[in-house]
Structure 1
Amino acid sequence: MLQSVPSSDELSDLVATTDRMRTAIEHVVTGRPELVRTTLAVLLAEGHLLLEDVPGVGKTTLAKALARTIDCSVGRVQFTPDLMPSDLTGVNIFRTQTNEFEFRPGPVFAHVVIGDEINRASPKTQSALLECMQEGQATVDGRTYRLPRPFFVVATQNPVEMEGTYPLPEAQRDRFMARLTVGYPSVESELDMLDLQESSDPLAGLQAVTDAAHVARLIDVTRRLYASPAVKRYVVDLVGATRNEPGLRLGASPRAAIQLLRAAKGIAAIDGRDHVLPDDVQQLAASVLAHRLLPSTESRLSGRSTESIVASLVESVPLPAAGPAPTAATTATAGVAGTRRAI
């Protein structure tokens, strides 16, 4: 049985909560409203986020600010070459008093896990996150433990300083719903930042505006948003186009199509809509797809990035035809095609 789309009260609660979160985060991460908006969309879509940029632009600050806005458990991991998988998932400790092993959970047993410089850990340690991120569980010494819900991994990496790093393998990158770059702030935003942090740390005064249980309910509301067959076909066509693009030697996986649709629902929910538009898909296409793709040798030599390839595919893949007017049964088929194309 299909679930009903969210009620107006549920959507109003979601919009009000995410607005409070955005206001709180933007008090710390100034001048980047779209970055914050997309981050919250990934959270609502129950995905994971990879922040990639040069040092000092606020990657870890964004992750910390998001965690502070939710009254929940937070795990912080500083990835280093000598970090072991058990340092993430936890270990069994033998207690002589009881002659039994006691499981001591690692930092992944938290609602929000902040992984700093994830590409500094060895592939062996990186792979410990695969099961956690995909299945919401961790297996230690043959026993499986469920992770809390929501479970949101925000990882950062530095694409410039490559000495002593291990590039994320394709399977690991595919577990991240989106990859975002923070970028340098505008002159005005940087001046505001200097004023704001001249005498105090704005993170210290950040208060939680919601809790983990409430976020889990908002995730369930987001999943119930309506996506028409035409929009779903558009997602599949867009993802399928990456597999036939001569500028790529590896296209996007079926997991990418699933996560692109979920992320689009997250954006639609933040905008207060109970249905997904192709616009939502287009806005997130580069963030969700680009890091999963491998460019061909010709593309690399010509300096053509996977982001530019995705942008050209968004322009070339036809939009779905407009659907019928909304009815009480569907509540949302109006506008499933949309008329505006994201730039």
Structure 2
Amino acid sequence: MMNKNVDQLYEEREKRYIQAVDLEQPDRVPHETRFGEYWAINYAGYPIKGSAVDPKIMGEAMEKIAQDFATDTCPSLFSRNPLFYKSLKSINFTESKTGIMQHPEVSCMDRSEYDAFIKNPFGFIVDKVLPRVYKALDSEGAGYGMSLVRAMNIQTDMTTPILMEAGRVSKKYGLPLTGAGLVEAPMDYISDMIRGFSEITMDIRRCPEKVAAAAEAVLPLMDRLAAQLPAVKGKLISIPLHMPVFMREKDFAKLWWPTFKEMVERMAARGQYMRIYFEGDWTRYYDYLQDLPKGHILGAFEYMDPQLAKDKLGKTMCITAGYDVSLLQYGTKEKVIDEAKKLMDVLAPGGGYIFTVAKGITYPNDGTPENVRALYEFVESYGKY
């Protein structure tokens, strides 16, 4: 591999990745690491607190991962800037004493306000939700705008150099950048950012028609956001899914599924590709997922029966994840490799499969470097077709 130049490596890796998403069989199973910023920063030898906002440190962390671990994609690190949230006096994202960002549950809309939200969701978010979540915006006139501009400048001053560092590592090591932004399923957005999980769980039972109408009202906002993101093969838009595994199937079918399916269909019609994170166990929803657009989705499953997933979804979406990340911390090297082999033996035949772990290797205790290295070296050698 080292005899090839980085341009050749980039082209081979990108082609391999695209073929798998297209449900084709490449020369070998593509694989990608899922390192979070805290694990990577710690691995690079830096303290977590303060480092995630330092582009130089983030760049060093990305480069060290690229040097030390086999991967087909660039280890681009994402970080929430605590200074951004502090400047806005945020209550929904806060920094812990260790420097790790936390997302406490917040409800910033009363049940009695559903009608106003449904009538004008964007206006309600700007006028009501943002000032309630970000206390620095709880002012009228110039104060609101100045606080928002100041926060956005803080964010840009950090994120732009980090993105440049990711581009540098991508070019230096021939590792494609596969991320293309993020959107949320309409009902998940309401749960995450508007009502909170506990409140919307009660709303589903007490006023399901309001929940359905609110999801319909949010759909154009999510679609407008998605429309601004790339429609390029090899660039995947992330969609993390949260609510369905906590819902009854009849509520899922009536309240959650219709707007999500329409959003995904609109994105596919624009030529966009998606990395959808199916958090939790989605087994009971596999029949629904068969109706999603074919060849536009990389489905990352936290938990799955690999044979059932292959049989039911293998002709609809490229399958990834499903590997128990806890093995990387507590398993022996033999166990780490054995589990990967079992998964690949089922999912790899015929293509349409990318190897990665079920959850991000996010925190320093999520996996030992020795086990992670052994895992991806095995996958690269064993995955040849």
TM-score, normalized by length of structure 1? Answer: 0.28
- Structure 2 length-normalised TM: 0.26
Q: Report which of the two has the higher share of strand.
A: 1
Please state which structure has a larger fraction of its residues in helix: 2
